[in-house]
Amino acid sequence: MDDMAGVYVTAELVLAADPIARELHEAWSCVSYLATQWSDLVDLAVDGQPPAFTPP
């Protein structure tokens, strides 16, 4: 959770500092990745197993 909060703050700072598009994309991509990891961890804790793969 600390990593996710730290990356979110970094993304907010990049956004507020007239960011370069690449830096902004990288920051928010990292936030998105960590949010997905957190969600998977919660699913594992609640359901006791990884989420099932559902093809698109």
In the chain, where does DSSP find H-type helix? 2-16, 21-47
Cα–Cα distance, 11 to 33 (Å, whole number): 13
Q: Which of 28, 34, 4 has its CA nearest to residue 14?
A: 28
Does residue 11 have a pLDDT over 70? Answer: yes
pTM of the model: 0.50
- pLDDT tens-digit profile of 26-51? 878 888 888 888 888 888 888 776 66
CA gap 19, 47 in Å, rounded: 40
| Domain locations along the chain | 2-45
Sign of the C-alpha dihedral, residues 35, 33, 3, 8? negative
Q: Are the CB atoms for 36 and 49 separated by under 8 Å? A: no
